Amino acid sequence: MGARANLSQQAAGSEPILLERLIPRGDPAAAEDIVGGLARDDRWRSHPERPYLMLNMISSVDGRVSIGGRSRPLGSRADRALFHALRSAVDAVMVGAGTARTERYGRMIREASRRRERVGRGLSEEPLACIVSGRLALPADLPLLGDPAARVVILTSSTASLPATVAQIDYVRTGREGRVDLPAALAELRERFAVGTLLCEGGPHLNSQLLVAGLVDELFLSLSPQLAGDSGPGETLRILAGVELQSPVGLELLGALRSDSQLFLRYAV
């Protein structure tokens, strides 16, 4: 379902979106109810040594993850509803620095009602915001860093620190051959910050690195009913990029939802 961080869930006063449950079969349900059921799955509590990690991406039918450099043109009201429902169910949300810059990441959960619901379920008000940035290449005007209520952890191989921000910033410093040591970083997220469930919203390079390191447990893929054609210079085509896999990684289909012509697929990796 990708990085759609600045999109509101749905227009004020609009009717709730019901998703058709194809696999497994079931009555249509709202995104919050569907994700609430997933959160009770024992799969989400299966790793005592690191967070249970889910990729959440969106792509066109022909594989584009962005149009004009942004994922927003691929989305829909149903996609945004699932996007925010997933955020509301996890301990932390992780994103690469490039995606955070492009999508202008802000606060993880803006609606006060959603934050109250999380507290009622025994969670923190909002998920911890985790940014993977080897070089700390984050703009000072990134909305997330300018929010005094934001809790941010920077996963980096650098020994430097960002200039002072109003957001609460912590660092997980792990490096290997000049890059962020992702297995060590995720283990530290589990140990220091009690992150049991981690939702990664891309981008494609970070997705590939996590997959190669054997850290991905699930993939949520929103399939937008569009054919976008070839990309412009420097625009990534697919949900994975930058790392060649030695062999294809098998997936197991766990669930499928539909809203109009858009499909939402859940795979075990």
Q: Strands 175-176 and 262-268, how do they pair?
A: unpaired
What φ, ψ does residue 262 adopt, rounded to 5°?
-95, 135
- Cα angle: 240, vertex 242, 248; to 5 degrees: 50
- Range of the structural domain that residue 246 is part of: 43-268
155 assigned to some structural domain: yes
SS3 for 109-138, per residue?
A: CCCHHHHHHHHHCCCCCCCEEEEECCCCCC
pLDDT above 60 (res 12): no
Q: How confident is the model at residue 11 (pLDDT cuts 50, 70, 90)?
A: very low
**DSSP states of 127-196 as a string?**
PEEEEE-SS----TT-GGGG-TT-EEEEEES-S--PPP-SSEEEEEE-EETTEE-HHHHHHHHHHHH---
9 assigned to some structural domain: no
Residue range 185-227, pLDDT digits in tens: 999 999 999 999 999 999 999 999 999 999 999 999 999 999 9
Domain count, the chain: 1
223 assigned to some structural domain: yes
10 assigned to some structural domain: no
DSSP state of 77: H
Q: How confident is the model at residue 235 (pLDDT cuts 50, 70, 90)?
A: low
Task: Give the CATH number of the domain where residue 153 resides.
Answer: 3.40.430.10
104 assigned to some structural domain: yes
